[in-house]
Amino acid sequence: MRRYSIQTKIVLPFMLLFAVVAIVFPLVAVEIFAWKYDEQFTRETEGWVDTIMKTGYFKQEPEKIKSAYGVEIMIFGSDYTLNGTTLDAFSDVGQDWTNLAEKMRLREVKLHLENPDGKSVIRDVTLNGKPYKVFYLPLNLGRFYCLLRPMEAIAEAKRTLTWYMLSIAVLVTGLVALISHLIGRNLTNPIKVLVDSTTRVATGNLDEQCNIKTHDEIGDLAAAFNQMTRDLKQSRDQLIQAERLATAGKMSASFAHEIRNPLSSMRMLAQMLMQKPEMAVEKHQQSLRYILEEIKQIDTIVKGLMDFARPTALNLRQQPLSLVLQAVLALMAANLEHHKIQLELDVSPETPEVQFDSDKLKQAFMNVVLNAMEAMPQGGVLKVSTIVDEDRVGIKVVDNGVGISAEDLAHLFEPFFTKKTRGTGLGLANVKRILEEHGGNVKIESTLGEGTEVSLWLPLSVVRN
Ligand SMILES: Nc1ncnc2c1ncn2[C@@H]1O[C@H](COP(=O)(O)OP(=O)(O)OP(=O)(O)O)[C@@H](O)[C@H]1O
Ligand SMILES: [Mg+2]
């Protein structure tokens, strides 16, 4: 089936309709005008005819009547022969009177004159190529008196008017076509841009954003399209992350157990070696301490992986958030002091109790505090506070450490994303998972060189398990 563009569908019917209206309307107007004028013209001439007859003026020389009224006169005998006229010659009938009588429709008119119905007999006749309105009057002895009023000027005026009207109609139709083409293009261009964007998105480019800024339905459509593409990208990224998590989970599930057992043996053996008198030399003791440290690092990684692999069921209890803050911060107090970090704690007594798994939230909060501590190697200020929103409560941790670049911010929650030489990159991934298990979320804002703000949000309403 033939495919018509939206622009054609808009422009074509609009133009056709307009062309019909623009042409028909002037033609009808001209006809009405000519008809009205004709009526007026006839009435006026009938008045003259009346005067000419009643006053007996018709007995005068026809030339006098011609100069007085601007009309032509023809007088015919009862046998239709021309008795007298103001017209010079009849090039189209020659000297053939029968032909002239025919042209003047005398026979037909005579019937009407013999049965007068009170109205003048009027006919349109063309002589010598010129149109006349002829008014017939009966004279004595069956003769005719014909008063011919030239119509050429009116016919000419009608022709000129029609041409003017049609020219204007064509011009205006052209103008309308141009304007509707421009309007159509204005409407369809953004749609084309949108279609192109859709095609690019369909080929997998989810970074595509449609650049339409019009404040209309198409602008709204473009905005909705852009939002949809962004959501799609986000969902795809989340899917990729979920896949990574699943892979990490599977990997750790199969390896963690295998690694941890030999690791414990290694730790035990290293500790035993440390006790041996032949290892009492400082050089050997140092090596063993390194071994034990590395074992601890491997153990941490394996433990982090295992947390991913076996997300245990939440042990939810309605309790105050301050419990978590106090427990973790008490544990960290010495460490913070050692790193010259000043703690500013602000726990609002207004903070409502909320349901959460105390161990898991402690683990999440601890990870965040550790990150903050590691971000302030030269010391700094650590602000910890409870926060309350309309339907959620949370913990806010603010540090004035190294901060995070915009580029890194996008990857913080990805498992194994770390900038630290001895980091696992599982800390924040675990924090996010724990908060999401509670139906909450994590928000991180940061400025490089200035510090970082981490908010752990929990919903006030029932959480999913
Ligand atoms: N408060 C913070 N200030 C600056 N950078 C941060 C902060 N918190 C996290 N980061 C950055 O995010 C990265 C990822 O953090 P995450 O806790 O997931 O892993 P990690 O701390 O590197 O490793 P691990 O938690 O196993 O020690 C960090 O390496 C660090 O670059
Ligand atoms: Mg960390």
Task: Using the predicted structure, report yes or no on whether residue 463 has a pLDDT greater than 50.
Answer: no
| CA distances in angstroms from 318 to 321, 396, 432, 455, 459, listed in the order given | 9, 20, 21, 20, 12
How much distance in Å is there from the Cα of 417 to the middle of ligand 1? 8
Q: Which helix (H) or strand (E) holds 146?
A: strand 144-150
If asked whether residues 301 and 336 sit together in one domain, one would say no
pLDDT at position 465, please? 44
DSSP string for 74-113: EEE-TTS-EEEES----TTTTT-HHHHHHHTTHHHHHHHH
How much distance in Å is there from the Cα of 352 to the middle of ligand 2? 28
Task: Using the predicted structure, report yes or no on whether residue 309 has a pLDDT greater than 80.
Answer: no
If asked whether residues 454 and 319 sit together in one domain, one would say yes
For ligand 1, say whether the CB of 90 is within 6 Å of any of its atoms. no
Comparing 324 with 242, the larger pLDDT belongs to 324
Structure tokens at 253: 């599930």
- From the number of C-beta atoms within 10 Å of its C-beta (0-12, 13-18, 19+), residue 193 rates as middle
How much distance in Å is there from the Cα of 419 to the middle of ligand 1? 7
For ligand 1, say whether the CB of 77 is within 6 Å of any of its atoms. no
If asked whether residues 81 and 132 sit together in one domain, one would say yes
For ligand 1, say whether the CB of 363 is within 6 Å of any of its atoms. no
Over range 119-126, report the average pLDDT: 83
Q: Decide if 62 is inside a domain.
A: yes
3-state DSSP of 241-301: HHHHHHHHHHHHHHHHHHHHHHHHHHHHHHHHHHHCHHHCCHHHHHHHHHHHHHHHHHHHH
Over range 257-286, report the average pLDDT: 88
List 147's β-bridge partners, or say none.
Answer: 73, 135
- Condensed to tens digits (0 to 9), the pLDDT of residues 83-115 reads 888 888 776 666 677 788 888 888 888 888 776
Question: Which of 335, 371, 430, 448 has most ligand 1 atoms within 8 Å of its beta carbon, as the pocket-test mutant?
Answer: 371
Q: Decide if 186 is inside a domain.
A: no
Look over the chain and give the mean of its residue pLDDT values, rounded to a whole number.
86
> Apex CA 101: angle with CA 77 and CA 156, to 5°?
120
If asked whether residues 328 and 236 sit together in one domain, one would say no
If asked whether residues 302 and 322 sit together in one domain, one would say no
> Apex CA 412: angle with CA 408 and CA 416, to 5°?
110
If asked whether residues 293 and 326 sit together in one domain, one would say no
Task: Using the predicted structure, report yes or no on whether residue 302 has a pLDDT greater than 60.
Answer: yes
Over range 29-41, report the average pLDDT: 86
Q: Which residue's alpha carbon is nearest to atom 31 within ligand 1? A: 419
List 130's β-bridge partners, or say none.
Answer: 127
Over range 321-328, report the average pLDDT: 93
If asked whether residues 368 and 404 sit together in one domain, one would say yes
Which residues neighbour 38 within 8 Å (Cβ) at sequence distance 6 or greater?
154
Residue 454 lies in domain: 314-459
- Condensed to tens digits (0 to 9), the pLDDT of residues 225-258 reads 999 999 999 998 888 877 877 777 677 667 776 8
DSSP character at residue 406: H
Distance CA 74, CA 304 (A): 124
Task: Using the predicted structure, report yes or no on whether residue 34 has a pLDDT greater than 90.
Answer: no
Task: Using the predicted structure, report yes or no on whether residue 464 has a pLDDT greater than 50.
Answer: no
pLDDT at position 287, please? 92
Residue 413's pLDDT band (boundaries 50, 70, 90)? very high
If asked whether residues 326 and 297 sit together in one domain, one would say no
If asked whether residues 372 and 435 sit together in one domain, one would say yes
Please identify every residue whose CB atom is under 5 Å from ligand 2, which is an ion: 371, 427
If asked whether residues 371 and 262 sit together in one domain, one would say no
pTM for this prediction: 0.51
How much distance in Å is there from the Cα of 331 to the middle of ligand 1? 20
DSSP character at residue 59: G
Answer for the pair 208, 197: CB distance below 8 angstroms, yes or no. Answer: yes
Q: Which of 286, 307, 328 is the last residue of a domain?
A: 307
Task: Using the predicted structure, report yes or no on whether residue 418 has a pLDDT greater than 90.
Answer: yes
Total domain count, the chain: 3
CATH number at residue 17: 3.30.450
Least confident window among 46-55, 316-325, 331-340: 46-55
Give me the percent of the chain exceeding a pLDDT of 70.
94
Question: Which of 299, 398, 420, 445 has most ligand 1 atoms within 8 Å of its beta carbon, as the pocket-test mutant?
Answer: 420
Provide the pairing of β-strand 392-399 with 316-319. Answer: unpaired
Q: Among 307-311, 403-407, 416-420, which range has the highest average pLDDT? A: 403-407
